[in-house]
Structure 1
Amino acid sequence: MSSPATDPFGAVPAEVRPYLTELVHRTRAVFGPRLTGVVAVGSLALGDYRHGRSDVDVTVVVEEPSPAEALRELAGVLSHERLPCPSTGLELVVYPAGIARTPSGAAGWLLDLNTGARLPARAAFDTADGPSFWYVIDRSVAHQDGIALYGPPAPEVIAAPRPAELFDAIRASVREHGDGAGHLADNRVLNGCRSVAYGRTGRWFAKRGAAARIAEAEEEFRPLIEAAVRSFERPRGAALPLPGPQVRAFLTWVRQRVEEYAAAAGA
């Protein structure tokens, strides 16, 4: 358990601090001694949470067995109707400790919950319901920079995926954003920047930090990346349009770079 002498919530933005405090309280009430850890991930962990644009991303780790009724109870008590999310939405994933502590390219979750004013409601309990790459990348970010809101430091409860599995996930992410369905244009460009920045450095950066790195190094794409950052700095509903051919050309370039970095890593 986190030391009482420290305040783990001091590392998250004030706008979501009370919400996360109550989220941890409710999660502890549901799982009791089975709860191993609650970790803030995504933009919260990478230090670039933008209120009005970013989601709240949380990873929960529990010891098995974890009864199905407990997972359903958690989905209920954390729903936006019962605990209003102050951000665009909550994306919360529950993993069994055995999966979380093991380097893996599997989805492996027990509950995948999306809830909030601007997120389509989702409470899934079967990993066959979607692709695995989101979860592999999120666990990589969590291992690197996750903020432990409850329990031991994040790297002690969430393992880093193996390079081959992680690069498979990055490839899948690039394909997903290349297709574009369901994604804002700025997010497609900035996620591409993050993938290339990871390939070059072996570290995850926040979207705007990755964008700054790639824009500085790649003059050809600098205007597009800077436009994507300007759009990202607006509320989600006020995102700016970006030129489709330029976005597609950039993501083709991203795909090529990722393949090069994967090959260099033996992945």
Structure 2
Amino acid sequence: MAHTREDPRSVPTELRPYLAELVRRTRAVCGPHLVSVLAVGSLALGDYRHGRSDIDVTVVVEPSLPGSAPHDLAGTLAHPRLPCPAAGLELVVYGADFVRRPSGAAGYLLDLNTGPLLPDRADFDAARSPAFWYVIDRSVAHQTGLTLFGRPAREVVAAPDRPDLLAAIRASVREHSDGEGHLADNRVLNGCRSVVFCRTGRWLAKRAAAREAALAEEEFRPLIEAAVRSFERPRSSALPLPAAEVRTFLARVRARVDQTARSAGT
């Protein structure tokens, strides 16, 4: 296996010791069955904000990984056993045989949420989870995943097929439209990312997507700019946004996604 790593300057200074230890512990648990450890989410898209963003990590392992290893990995990486310096760690483990092929399923071996601002969760049954989160994350990983250990993202993570990806984006927008458990600024900015992806086929960081969406959706520019200002604050001091305007904007996003799906014949 090739042991490659991206330029360490790609990783924010305050996260380097933590990610190095995360990789070390993952290697210790998975041994020769470990294929890759990839940074995804805001780290991969170049818009990590300390005190606001989560650390998103995708781990790829060989099918021969012992069945106890995902449980062991969840234990050794859980906060505060490994203190997370960010708002939280969202780590997903996939089998290499699953993730090398396009899929609209969740398909994980472990979904771990942990950290100072995240409710602890370690789930080992992918059938119980909505698939859309994982489909979108794998799309981001294939596009821009940052290699912390092992083989590069594009070699190990397949891009989802377009119909599956558009269905996942529609489900994501519905989830954010409901609003439960999501900050208002995050709902708006994820809507911006969805709109820009439908237009360009590329995932952008939230603030970059907001700039493009504000130009295309002029009537929502004040709302989008307010969401960006809120996003630039710590999570605990996010600004309130007008609930009716947020719902109206997300309804517009749903219409844009549906229009893209119709145009693609999905």
Q: Tell me the TM-score range normalised by the shorter chain.
A: over 0.9
CA contact (8 A) 2:6 2:146 kept: no
Q: Aligned partners of 2:139, 2:106: CA distance in 1, in Å? A: 12
Query: Superposition pairs for residues 254-265 of structure 1, below 5 Å?
Result: 254-265=253-264
Q: Which amino acid in 2 is paired with 1:23?
A: L
**Paired residue secondary structure (1:111):** strand
Is it true that 1:154 corresponds to 2:153 in the alignment? yes
State TM-score, norm by structure 2: 0.98
CA contact (8 A) 1:8 1:149 kept: no
- Cα deviation, residue 129, structure 1: 2.6
CA contact (8 A) 1:8 1:148 kept: no
Query: Superposition pairs for residues 176-255 of structure 1, below 5 Å?
Result: 176-255=175-254
C-alpha RMSD of matched pairs (Å): 1.1
State TM-score, norm by structure 1: 0.97
Q: Which residue of 2 aligns with 1:141?
A: 140
- Cα deviation, residue 15, structure 1: 1.1
Q: Which amino acid in 2 is paired with 1:246?
A: E
Q: Aligned partners of 1:9, 1:108: CA distance in 2, in Å? A: 30
Q: Percent identity?
A: 68
CA contact (8 A) 2:6 2:147 kept: no
Q: Which residue of 2 aligns with 1:123?
A: 122
Q: Aligned partners of 2:180, 2:122: CA distance in 1, in Å? A: 21
Is it true that 1:111 corresponds to 2:127 in the alignment? no
Q: Aligned partners of 1:127, 1:36: CA distance in 2, in Å? A: 20
Q: Which residue of 2 aligns with 1:61?
A: 60
**Paired residue secondary structure (2:68):** helix
- Cα deviation, residue 82, structure 1: 1.1
**Paired residue secondary structure (2:36):** strand
Q: Aligned partners of 1:141, 1:17: CA distance in 2, in Å? A: 21
Q: Which amino acid in 2 is paired with 1:197?
A: V
- Cα deviation, residue 3, structure 1: 5.2
> Which range moves more in the overlay, 212-221 or 191-200?
212-221
Q: Aligned partners of 2:121, 2:8: CA distance in 1, in Å? A: 26
- Cα deviation, residue 2, structure 1: 5.0
- Cα deviation, residue 265, structure 1: 2.0
Q: Provide Cα deviations, 1:52-94, integer angstroms capped at 9, x if missing partner.
A: 0000000000001322311111001101121100000100000
**Paired residue secondary structure (2:65):** coil
Q: Which runs of 5+ in 2 are unaligned?
A: none
Q: Which amino acid in 2 is paired with 1:170?
A: I
CA contact (8 A) 1:52 1:88 kept: yes
Q: Provide Cα deviations, 1:90-109, integer angstroms capped at 9, x if missing partner.
A: 00000000111001101000
- Cα deviation, residue 242, structure 1: 0.3
Equivalent pairs, count:
266
